[in-house]
Amino acid sequence: MALPNLSDADRKAALKKAAEARQKRAELRAQIKAGDVSFKQVMAKSDDPIVARMKVTTLLESLPGFGKAKAAKIMDELEISESRRVQGLGARQREQLMGRLG
């Protein structure tokens, strides 16, 4: 699929929008790491585009006490692809994650 030809103004607007989304995801990760927002609360907001486009591994690594190894182990045990995003989780995967972490 060919990329659309954007004008300079459209390109700048798209870059600004993407930067804002990254900033909001970073703020959410910081809130999760600090314990201000729980895993259950994040999963309840999975319709939010900021949460929906976050990778599950990134979400798990943001949890207090979790790192790359622990997140990878849970993803492996629940058979969730490391490239999976929150919006792409199946009902069974979501249920298993909530049972384990929620």
Report domain extents, the chain: 21-101
Kindly list the distances between the CA atom of residue 88 and the CA atoms of 14, 51, 52, 56, in Å, as whole numbers in the listed order: 23, 11, 8, 9
Express as a percent the part of the chain with pLDDT over 90. Answer: 89
Phi, psi of 66 (to 5 degrees): -110, 140
pLDDT, tens only, 6-55: 888 999 999 999 999 999 999 999 999 999 999 999 999 989 999 999 99
pLDDT computed for residue 27 by the predictor: 96
What per-residue confidence (pLDDT) applies to 99?
93
Q: Which amino acid is at 31?
A: Q
Question: What pLDDT is stored for residue 74 in this prediction?
Answer: 94
- Fold held by 21-101: Helicase, Ruva Protein; domain 3 (1.10.8)
Distance in angstroms (rounded) separating the CA atoms of residues 101 and 96: 9
Contact 70, 51 (CB under 8 A): no
